[in-house]
Structure 1
Amino acid sequence: MKLVYVFDAYCGWSHGFTATLREVVARHPELPLEVVSGGLFTGSRRMPVREFGYVQGANAQIAELTGAEFGAAYERLIADGSFVMDSEAAARGVAALRQAAPDRAAELAAVLQHAFYVDGLSLSETVTYRKVAEEAGLDADAVVAAFEGPEAPYTAADDFHRSAELGVTGFPTLLAVDGYSATPLAYGRAAADEVDQRLAPLRTP
C-alpha cells in the first residue's frame, strides 16, 4: 500500500492541507508517498485572478480553518487581478523538483506553495524554481533544465492523466492505493487523526 497525494500548487485548500500532510507522512514513514499535480487551472480555467471573484474570501476561510499563511507579497502579486494561475506550468515545476529529489516530493510541494502563497513568487517563472532548488540544496541547473525542457509538458500531462485515472475530482485529495484499489483518506480538509481513522481499517490483516 502507498499514499497518493493529488494537489495543485495553485490551490489554496492544498496550501491549507500542508500541515496535515506533513503530520501524516511523519506518522507513517513506512508508507511510500506519490505526489501528483491535478491541474486545477488549465485550458479555459487559465485566466486572470480577477475572473475568480471568490479567491480572497476563500483564502480567508482557509486561513481561519487551517492556520495556513497568506503573505503580504502574495496579496501584492494578486492585488490588481491580472495575475494568471497556470497549473500546467506549476505541474512542470513540481515534476522538475520531484525528479531532483523523489523522496522529498511532499516537502518540496509544500515549499513551492509557500513560495507562491507567502513569498508571492509566480510558479510560471524559471527564477522561482532556481530559488526553491537552491534553498533546498538541490542541483538548481538540473531543476531549471527539467522545468524548461522539451519533455516538461509531457510530465505535466502525465500527472493530469494520473489524477483522472485515480478518479480525483477536486484538490487536495489523499488516497490509500493498494494495487488497483484507491480509498479516499481526505478531500479538501482533514486532520491527521481523521486520516488515521480512515487508514487503520485498510491496514488490518
Structure 2
Amino acid sequence: MKLVHVFDAYCGWSHGFSGTLGEVASRHPELPVEVVSGGLFTGPRRVPIREFGYVQGANAKIAELTGAEFGTAYDQLIADGSFVMDSEAAARGIVALRMAAPARAAEFAIALQRAFYVDGLSLSDPGTYREVAEEAGLDADAVVAAFESSEVRVAAGADFHRAASLGVTGFPTLLAVDGDRVTALAHGHATADEVDRRLATLRTH
C-alpha cells in the first residue's frame, strides 16, 4: 500500500493540510507517499489573483481551522491583486524536486507551500526552487535545470492526467492505493488522527 497526496501548491486548503500530511508521513514511514499535482490554476484559470475575490476570506478560514500560517511576505505579494498563480509552473517545480529525491516528495510539497504562503515567493520563479533545493541539501543547479526542461513539462502534464484518472475533483485529497483498490482517506481537511482511524479500518478489511 502507498499514500497518494493529490494537491495543488497554489491551493490554500492544500497548504492547510501540510501539517496533517507531515504528521501522517512521520507516523507511517512504512508507507511511501506519492505526490501528484492537480492543476488548479491552468488554462483560463491562470489569471491575476484579484479575479478570485474569495482568497483572503478563505485563507482566514483555513488558518482558523488548521492553524496554517499565512505570512506577511505572502500578503505583500498578493496585495495589489496582479500576482498570477500558475499551477503548471508549480507542478514542474514539484516534479524537478521529486526527481532529485523521490522518497522526499511529501517534504517538498510542504516546503513549496511554505515558500509561497509564508515567504511570499513565486512558484514560477526558478530562484524559489534553488532556495528550496539548497535548504533540502539537493543539487540546486540540477533542480533548476530540470524545472526549465521539456521533460519536466511533460511530467507535469502527466501529473494532471493522473489526478483526473484517480477521480480527484478537489484538493487536497489523500488516497490509500493498494493494487487496484483506491480509498480516500481525506478530502480538503482532516487531522492525522482521523486519517489514522481510516487507515486502521482499511487494514482490517
Q: Given the two structures, how large is their TM-score scaled by the length of structure 2?
A: 0.98
Q: Structure 1: which amino acid aligns with 2:94?
A: V
The size of the alignment, in residue pairs, is 205
1:134 counterpart residue number: 134
2:194 counterpart residue number: 194
* Secondary structure in structure 2 of the residue aligned to 1:5: strand
Give CA deviations for 1:75-125 in whole Å, capped at 9, x if unaligned: 000000000000000000000000111111101111111000011000001
CA distance in structure 1 between the aligned counterparts of 2:35 and 2:152, rounded to whole angstroms: 16
Q: Structure 1 residue 15 and structure 2 residue 11: aligned?
A: no
1:159 counterpart residue number: 159
Over 4 Å off, 4+ runs: none
Q: Structure 2: which amino acid aligns with 1:30?
A: E
Superposed displacement of residue 198, structure 1: 1.1
Q: Structure 2: which amino acid aligns with 1:173?
A: T
CA distance in structure 1 between the aligned counterparts of 2:193 and 2:132, rounded to whole angstroms: 30
Give CA deviations for 1:39-63 in whole Å, capped at 9, x if unaligned: 0001111110000000000000000
Q: Structure 1: which amino acid aligns with 2:61?
A: Q
Give CA deviations for 1:4-36 in whole Å, capped at 9, x if unaligned: 000000000000001111111111111111111
Q: Structure 2: which amino acid aligns with 1:112?
A: L
CA distance in structure 1 between the aligned counterparts of 2:95 and 2:106, rounded to whole angstroms: 12
CA distance in structure 2 between the aligned counterparts of 1:27 and 1:130, rounded to whole angstroms: 29
Q: CA-atom RMSD, angstroms?
A: 0.8
1:55 counterpart residue number: 55
CA distance in structure 2 between the aligned counterparts of 1:29 and 1:139, rounded to whole angstroms: 25
Give CA deviations for 1:119-175 in whole Å, capped at 9, x if unaligned: 100000111111111111100011001100121210110100110110000000000
1:6 counterpart residue number: 6
1:98 counterpart residue number: 98
1:86 counterpart residue number: 86
Gaps of 5+ in 1: none
Q: Structure 1 residue 203 and structure 2 residue 192: aligned?
A: no
CA distance in structure 2 between the aligned counterparts of 1:23 and 1:150, rounded to whole angstroms: 34
CA distance in structure 2 between the aligned counterparts of 1:78 and 1:168, rounded to whole angstroms: 28
Gaps of 5+ in 2: none
* Secondary structure in structure 2 of the residue aligned to 1:151: helix
CA distance in structure 1 between the aligned counterparts of 2:147 and 2:130, rounded to whole angstroms: 10
2:114 counterpart residue number: 114
2:182 counterpart residue number: 182
CA distance in structure 2 between the aligned counterparts of 1:51 and 1:24, rounded to whole angstroms: 34
CA distance in structure 1 between the aligned counterparts of 2:176 and 2:91, rounded to whole angstroms: 22
CA distance in structure 2 between the aligned counterparts of 1:134 and 1:198, rounded to whole angstroms: 36
* Secondary structure in structure 1 of the residue aligned to 2:182: strand
CA distance in structure 2 between the aligned counterparts of 1:79 and 1:106, rounded to whole angstroms: 29
